[in-house]
């Protein structure tokens, strides 16, 4: 039996008809056509489908769409400023942390959560933040370098003044 | 200068914003969602398939079996064995074999339809491993393949028996076993099929072999090849795998044809493990002889490759595995006997190195043993025997550039090899290994090159069309760099189109480290022709002699009169609007000066050969068996490095995949059942598994590759299993000859050693 729910995505309200078994990842991609969120495993093992739920990264393949009602959902489309990229996205480009690009939106979402919420921004915190994101193209070296450089930049000047919330 | 500059992939800004579209991101009005019914039996005769209940479900638009499709057997290509149907209708040959397909208005309904299909099976004895497959009374997977032999290859060069019989020679032998492993590209396989009103089929496939897959589609669907169009969207990684047919493309096309709707099928991650095309598992028996001074004299190999239920591209793999590694060292006597064995498992495919990590694992272990018996430094033994520039190897391979000796010296010096070997530390070990990889190997006597079209539009922007394909490895970035270099325009002014078989020329695709060499040369030739056209057009514009016109910094000018100068855009525009003019459009065609790979005789199949050496240092915790990699030093001979940013990451990622393959990654079958079908359960490395890796390059310039370049993508992984096994042996005194080497294996081996010593 399908039911009508209202999802708050990237600052807009969307009424969608969903089955109770449908995941948020599937609804975002197939109903709202927000295909920037990728699905690579559907098992919560790789982080490619990460979105921000009230500002914190979650695997949208493990979350039922009906349970996402009432939260503020932000996808890669919502994170990306209309007129350019966030400093974290710029750092990914600059450090060559992007190859096939399939894990990239998930890493940007997870990295954004890390930049905003990590208590210390030390190496162990970063490892803990992204150990759930699998990337097969880079060997993670450039990914770590990119996030570290965005961290340094953020600590140097307050990026939260950026119109889309910074970072 | 675009060449040699660290350059992010050309579509990085779109990718980082989630704006690039992969197959699963494509939507069409009226698009249906397809699903595949897979065999629940390892080996069974299919007695009947009843799809009537599935067809009655509201929202189900098509249900097909192999009997609804042309009954044509097909294989990987024209030279390959044809042993599979688009959907199996007579027999199921592995758990996961494609039996039927459905298309419905959403995925949930498609799944319900699968559950409503009733298949009657008559189970047959399953064959899971070499011994069962080769047993006298073994059941046959394919009636026309006695002994479950899918193919053989054997050759003998020189006289190995004479060497092995010589009392003065040191002879070592051993058997090595490797496991199946999945390439774990992030984007699952899939496709979108649609038909136009004139009966033409368009397939959107995240493939890296568009022309080849067009051939497979035409063959399996009994269609003229010209009526099939394959379009490549963005591809989320491949590492070799997506060169093959995913097993579902023809069925998806047929669902679309029958339903009259576009149909999209995307694999689940679980399906990836059950039914895609992972790395082959092998049993390698190897015997090597050396003289008392360490000179390698002879080698004999007996190789079994478990190809699964259908041959696919396994014949090409056997061929390459049979003799590639023989050219890393100077060795005059070689005997090889290789067999491909059918088993009731999924077919296998290509994975970065194409059998190279497995063979290197075996070969390099024997070098370590020979060094030990002679009391030689294993790195010095390798240096002594290393192939060198100018060598023509035992198989006729012409090494026009070879940085292998230099690579060994680099890793020796960078790792502080000599000093560290002298200060022995308990449970700490060092290993060394090397590899050779083919670049652009020729598997046919026909066209084996590459063709690119280049246009300079009237606004000065440059567009390249190549069928070679980009799957995230940076092919388009390399192509753009080359064109920007030749035409002296900014990199941002160059775009590269994704392959579309209606528009781009026939292409072999990105395998065998051929894209930079072959595809890159084609782009270079096209750009050079465009440069010449621009010079001619500028000369016409100014009434000057062509030889007097130059091009630099994106501007054309008369060399004797720099006041007369114009941008590329101005010249291209003038060319388009003059009488008998036209757009600047050129074709670059490259055909490598190679001979068809044939190890039974002598041939020189590659345009260039790449090399790498590595040293690894590990610490082993004897109680937990945990291996900590303290460092991996790599030195890579990929000729001139065109893009250091991408080359470094290619090596780093390839090294990490090798670490996974050596220490954790395993598609483990117990009595034929795949135990795990996900990233975590099969041991996929995450960020914590990446050790310190140093990436260095030799100072090599290849005479054939564009700007001296050779392939880099497949250099990182092949030495890793060998170099880690050597370092672990140095740390704990046990050499592991089976992969993966897990903590449990190490603890058990240390206990066993303690008990016997």
pLDDT at A159 over 70: no
d(CA B665, CA B93): 25
DSSP B281-342: EEEEEEEEEE-TTS-EEEEEEEEEEEEETS-TTHHHHHHHHHHGGGGTB---EEEEEEEEEE
Query: Edge-to-edge strand order for the sheet containing B555-558?
Result: B549-552, B555-558, B561-567
> Which residues in chain B are closer than 8 Å to A141, comparing Cβ atoms?
648-649, 652, 690, 693
* A162 within domain boundaries: no
B684 touches chain A (CB under 8 A): yes
DSSP B492-523: GGEEEEPPBTTTSPP---S-TT-IIIIIHHHH
- Of residues A29, A46, A144, nearest to B186 (C-beta): A46
Would you call B419 exposed, middle or buried from its count of C-beta atoms within 10 A (0-12, 13-18, 19+)?
exposed
At the second CATH level, the architecture of B364-443+602-756 is: 2-Layer Sandwich (3.30)
- Whether residue A60 is found in the same domain as residue A99: no
Contact B187 A102 (CB under 8 A): yes
Determine the distance in angstroms separating the CA of B736 from the nearest CA of chain A, rounded to an integer.
25
Q: pLDDT digits over A95-116, tens only?
A: 999 999 999 999 999 999 999 9
Give the containing element (helix H, strand E) for B191.
Answer: strand B190-195
* B514 contact partners, CB below 8 Å, separation of at least 6: B439, B440, B441, B450, B508, B607, B711
* A31 within domain boundaries: yes
Q: Domain residues for A57?
A: 3-77
> Which residues in chain B are closer than 8 Å to A80, comparing Cβ atoms?
17-18
Going from N- to C-terminal start, the domains of chain B cover: 23-124+197-262, 364-443+602-756, 450-590
- Exposed e or buried b for every residue in B235-263, given b needs 16+ CB within 10 A? bbbbbbbbbbbbbbbbbbbbbbbbbebbb
Q: pLDDT digits over B669-705, tens only?
A: 998 899 999 999 999 999 999 999 999 999 999 999 9
- Whether residue A47 is found in the same domain as residue A28: yes
Q: pLDDT digits over B79-105, tens only?
A: 889 999 999 999 999 999 999 999 999
Contact A141 B649 (CB under 8 A): yes
For residue B53, what pLDDT is reported? Answer: 98
pLDDT at A18 over 80: yes
Cβ A76 vs Cβ A36: under 8 Å? yes
Contact B18 A80 (CB under 8 A): yes
Cβ B696 vs Cβ B405: under 8 Å? no
Q: pLDDT digits over B45-87, tens only?
A: 999 999 999 999 999 999 999 999 999 999 998 888 999 999 9
Tell me the H-state helices in chain A.
24-26, 76-79, 87-94, 104-117, 123-130, 141-156
- Of residues A38, A94, A134, nearest to B686 (C-beta): A134
Residues of B numbered 24-83 whose beta carbons fall under 8 angstroms of chain A's beta carbons: which are they? 24-25, 27
DSSP B584-626: EEEEEEE--S-----TTS----EEEEEEEEEEEEEEE-TTT--
Contact A19 B236 (CB under 8 A): no
**How far is residue B373 from each of residues A108, B154, B214, B291, B442, measured CA to CA in Å?**
53, 30, 54, 11, 39
Contact A39 B9 (CB under 8 A): no
Kindly calculate the radius of gyration of chain A based on its CA atoms and give it in whole angstroms.
16
For residue B79, what pLDDT is reported? Answer: 81
* A82 within domain boundaries: no
d(CA B210, CA B198): 22
Q: Within its chain, how far is the Cα of B254 from the centroid?
A: 29
Q: Within its chain, how far is the Cα of B152 from the centroid?
A: 22
Cβ B164 vs Cβ B298: under 8 Å? yes
B631 touches chain A (CB under 8 A): no
Q: pLDDT digits over B96-155, tens only?
A: 999 999 999 999 999 999 999 999 999 999 999 999 999 999 999 999 999 999 999 999
Contact A99 B474 (CB under 8 A): yes
- Whether residue A44 is found in the same domain as residue A71: yes
Instruction: Tell me the CA end-to-end span of chain B in Å, nearest whole number.
Output: 63
Bridge pairing between strands B32-38 and B263-266: parallel
Select from A42, A58, A77 the last residue of a domain: A77
d(CA B291, CA B169): 5
d(CA A99, CA B735): 36
Contact A104 B473 (CB under 8 A): no
Length of chain A: 167
What residues form DSSP beta bridges with B48?
B120
* A104 within domain boundaries: yes
- Whether residue A34 is found in the same domain as residue A70: yes
d(CA B47, CA A110): 50
The number of beta carbons lying within 10 Å of the beta carbon of residue B62 is: 24
d(CA B453, CA B504): 8
Determine the distance in angstroms separating the CA of A21 from the nearest CA of chain B, rounded to an integer.
9
Kindly calculate the radius of gyration of chain B based on its CA atoms and give it in whole angstroms.
27
Determine the distance in angstroms separating the CA of A35 from the nearest CA of chain B, rounded to an integer.
6
Quote the Cα angle for B412-B414-B416, to 5°: 65
d(CA B253, CA B217): 9
Contact B649 A127 (CB under 8 A): no
What residues form DSSP beta bridges with B118?
B50
Q: pLDDT digits over B533-566, tens only?
A: 999 999 999 999 999 999 999 999 999 998 899 9
For residue B407, what pLDDT is reported? Answer: 98
Determine the distance in angstroms separating the CA of B691 from the nearest CA of chain A, rounded to an integer.
9
Q: What is the CATH number of the domain that holds A34?
A: 3.10.20.30
For residue B113, what pLDDT is reported? Answer: 98
- Exposed e or buried b for every residue in A49-83, given b needs 16+ CB within 10 A? bbbbbeeebbbbbebbbbebeebebbbbbbbbeee
> Which residues in chain A are closer than 8 Å to B20, comparing Cβ atoms?
101
Contact A101 B686 (CB under 8 A): no
Mean pLDDT of B455-460: 97
Q: Which of B236, B634, B642 to mutate to test the interface with A (most CBs of A within 10 A)?
A: B236
d(CA B511, CA B471): 11
- Dihedral sign, Cα of residue B143, residue B147, residue B153, residue B157: negative
d(CA B229, CA B249): 12
d(CA B114, CA B118): 9
pLDDT at B630 over 90: yes
* A153 within domain boundaries: yes
Cβ B316 vs Cβ B442: under 8 Å? no
For residue B757, what pLDDT is reported? Answer: 59
* A165 within domain boundaries: no
Q: Is A14 helix (H, G, I), strand (E, B) or coil?
A: strand
Select from A77, A102, A134 the last residue of a domain: A77
Confidence of residue A137 (pLDDT cuts 50, 70, 90): very high
Cβ B452 vs Cβ B508: under 8 Å? no
> Which residues in chain A are closer than 8 Å to B25, comparing Cβ atoms?
29, 35
Give the containing element (helix H, strand E) for B572.
Answer: helix B568-577
Percentage helix, strand, coil, to 5, in chain A? 40, 15, 45
**How far is residue B738 from each of residues B343, B613, B656, measured CA to CA in Å?**
20, 22, 19
For residue B672, what pLDDT is reported? Answer: 87
Q: Is the ipTM of this complex over 0.95?
A: yes
Q: What is the CATH number of the domain that holds A99?
A: 1.10.150.120
Contact A132 B268 (CB under 8 A): no
- Whether residue A70 is found in the same domain as residue A100: no
Tell me the H-state helices in B375-489.
378-385, 404-414, 417-422, 475-487
| B723: its two tokens | 């170099």
| B549: its two tokens | 């016109």
DSSP B528-547: HHHHHHHHHHHHHHHT--GG
Confidence of residue B755 (pLDDT cuts 50, 70, 90): confident
> Which residues in chain A are closer than 8 Å to B515, comparing Cβ atoms?
none
d(CA B277, CA B274): 9
Give the containing element (helix H, strand E) for B156.
Answer: strand B149-157
Tell me the H-state helices in B51-135.
52-56, 107-116, 130-134
DSSP symbol at B268: -
Mean pLDDT of B737-757: 92
* A108 within domain boundaries: yes
Select from A77, A101, A129 the last residue of a domain: A77
- Whether residue A94 is found in the same domain as residue A143: yes
- Whether residue A68 is found in the same domain as residue A93: no
Mean pLDDT of B491-513: 95
Contact B693 A141 (CB under 8 A): yes
Pick the CATH number of B450-590 from 3.30.365.10, 3.10.129.10, 3.20.10.10, 3.30.420.10: 3.30.365.10
For residue B12, what pLDDT is reported? Answer: 98
How many independent structural domains does chain A possess?
Answer: 2
pLDDT at B473 over 80: yes
Confidence of residue B660 (pLDDT cuts 50, 70, 90): very high
Contact B472 A101 (CB under 8 A): yes
* A166 within domain boundaries: no
- What percentage of chain B reaches a pLDDT higher than 70? 100
Confidence of residue B377 (pLDDT cuts 50, 70, 90): very high
- What percentage of chain B reaches a pLDDT higher than 90? 96
Superfamily for the B23-124+197-262 domain: Aldehyde oxidase/xanthine dehydrogenase, a/b hammerhead (3.90.1170.50)
d(CA A4, CA A9): 15
DSSP B692-740: -EEEEE-----SSSGGGB---TTSSSTTHHHHHHHHHHHHHS----BSS
The number of beta carbons lying within 10 Å of the beta carbon of residue B665 is: 26
- Whether residue A104 is found in the same domain as residue A153: yes
Mean per-residue pLDDT over chain A, rounded = 94
Determine the distance in angstroms separating the CA of A98 from the nearest CA of chain B, rounded to an integer.
6
């Amino acid at each position: 039996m399908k039911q009508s729910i209202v999802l708050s995505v990237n600052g807009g309200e969307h009424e969608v008809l969903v089955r109770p078994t449908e995941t948020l990842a599937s609804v975002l991609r197939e109903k709202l056509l927000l295909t920037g969120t990728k699905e690579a495993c559907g098992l919560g093992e790789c982080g490619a489908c990460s979105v921000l739920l009230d500002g914190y990264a979650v695997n949208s393949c493990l979350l039922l769409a009906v349970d996402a009602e009432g939260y503020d959902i932000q996808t890669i489309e919502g994170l990306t400023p209309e007129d350019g990229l966030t400093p974290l996205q710029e750092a990914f480009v600059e450090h060559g942390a992007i190859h096939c690009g399939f894990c990239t939106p998930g890493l940007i979402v997870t990295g954004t959560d890390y930049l905003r919420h990590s208590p210390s921004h030390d190496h162990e915190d970063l490892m803990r933040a992204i150990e759930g994101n699998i990337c097969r193209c880079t060997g993670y070296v450039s990914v770590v370098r990119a996030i570290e450089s965005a961290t340094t930049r953020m600590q140097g000047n307050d990026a939260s003044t950026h119109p889309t919330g910074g970072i | 200068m675009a060449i040699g500059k660290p350059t992010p992939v050309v579509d990085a800004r779109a990718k980082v914003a989630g704006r690039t579209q992969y197959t699963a991101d494509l939507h069409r009005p009226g698009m249906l969602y397809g699903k595949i019914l897979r065999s629940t039996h390892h080996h069974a005769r299919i007695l009947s398939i009843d799809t009537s209940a599935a067809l009655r479900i509201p929202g189900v638009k098509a249900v097909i079996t192999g009997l609804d499709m042309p009954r044509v057997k097909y294989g990987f290509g024209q030279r390959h064995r044809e042993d599979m149907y688009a959907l199996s209708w007579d027999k199921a040959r592995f758990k996961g074999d494609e039996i039927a397909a459905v298309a419905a208005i959403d995925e949930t309904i498609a799944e319900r339809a699968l559950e409503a299909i009733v298949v009657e099976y008559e189970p047959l004895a399953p064959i899971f491993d070499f011994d069962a497959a080769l047993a006298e009374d073994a059941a046959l997977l394919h009636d026309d393949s006695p002994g479950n032999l899918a193919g053989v290859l054997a050759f003998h060069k020189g006289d190995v028996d004479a060497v092995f019989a010589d009392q003065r020679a040191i002879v070592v032998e051993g058997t090595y076993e490797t496991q199946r492993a999945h390439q774990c590209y992030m984007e699952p396989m899939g496709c979108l099929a649609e038909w136009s009103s004139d009966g033409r089929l368009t397939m959107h496939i995240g493939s890296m072999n568009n022309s080849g897959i067009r051939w497979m589609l035409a063959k399996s669907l009994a269609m003229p090849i010209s009526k099939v169009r394959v379009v490549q969207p963005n591809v989320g990684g491949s590492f070799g795998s997506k060169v093959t047919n995913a097993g579902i493309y023809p069925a998806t096309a047929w669902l679309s044809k029958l339903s009259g709707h576009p149909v999209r099928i995307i694999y689940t991650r679980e399906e990836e493990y059950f039914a895609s095309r992972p790395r082959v598992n092998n049993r390698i028996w190897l015997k090597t002889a050396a003289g008392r001074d360490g000179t390698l004299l002879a080698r004999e190999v007996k190789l079994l490759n478990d190809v699964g239920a259908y041959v696919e591209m396994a014949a090409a793999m056997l061929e390459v595995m049979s003799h590639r590694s023989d050219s890393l060292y100077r060795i005059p006597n070689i005997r090889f006997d290789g067999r491909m064995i059918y088993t009731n498992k999924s077919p296998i495919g290509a994975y970065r190195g194409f059998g190279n990590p497995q063979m290197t694992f075996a070969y390099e272990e024997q070098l370590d043993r020979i060094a030990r018996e002679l009391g030689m430094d294993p790195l010095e033994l390798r240096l002594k025997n290393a192939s060198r520039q100018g060598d023509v190897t035992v198989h006729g391979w012409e090494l026009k550039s070879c940085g292998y000796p230099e690579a060994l010296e680099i890793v020796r010096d960078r790792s502080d090899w000599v000093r560290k070997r002298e200060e022995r530390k308990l449970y700490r070990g060092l290993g060394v290994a090397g590899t050779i990889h083919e670049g652009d190997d020729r598997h046919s006597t026909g066209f084996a090159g590459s063709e690119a079209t280049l246009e300079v539009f009237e606004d000065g922007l440059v567009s390249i069309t190549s069928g070679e394909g980009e799957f995230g490895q940076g092919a388009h970035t390399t192509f753009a760099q080359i064109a920007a270099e030749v035409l002296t325009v900014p990199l941002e002014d160059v775009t590269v189109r994704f392959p579309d078989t209606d528009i781009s020329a026939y292409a072999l695709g990105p395998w065998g480290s051929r894209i930079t060499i072959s595809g890159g040369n084609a782009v270079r030739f096209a750009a050079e022709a465009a440069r010449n056209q621009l010079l001619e057009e500028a000369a016409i514009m100014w009434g000057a002699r062509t030889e007097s016109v130059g091009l630099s910094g994106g501007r054309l000018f008369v060399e004797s009169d720099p006041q007369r100068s114009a941008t590329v855009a101005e010249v291209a525009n003038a060319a388009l609007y003059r009488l008998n003019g036209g757009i600047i459009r050129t074709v670059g065609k490259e055909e490598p000066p190679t001979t068809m790979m044939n190890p039974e005789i002598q041939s020189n199949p590659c345009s260039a050969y790449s090399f790498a050496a590595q040293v690894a240092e590990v610490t082993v915790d004897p109680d937990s068996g945990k291996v900590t990699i303290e460092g991996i030093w790599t030195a890579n001979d990929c000729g001139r490095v065109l893009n250091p940013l991408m080359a470094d990451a290619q090596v780093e990622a390839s090294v990490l995949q090798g670490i996974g393959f050596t220490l954790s990654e395993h598609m483990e079958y117990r009595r034929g059942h795949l135990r795990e079908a996900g990233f975590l359960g099969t041991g996929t490395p995450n960020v914590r598994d990446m050790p310190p890796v140093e990436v260095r390059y030799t100072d090599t310039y290849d005479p054939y590759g564009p700007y001296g370049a050779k392939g880099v993508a497949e250099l990182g992984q092949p030495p890793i299993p060998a170099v880690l096994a050597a370092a672990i042996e140095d740390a704990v005194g046990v050499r592991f000859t089976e992969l993966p080497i897990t903590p449990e294996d190490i603890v058990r081996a240390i206990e066993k050693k303690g008990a016997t010593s």
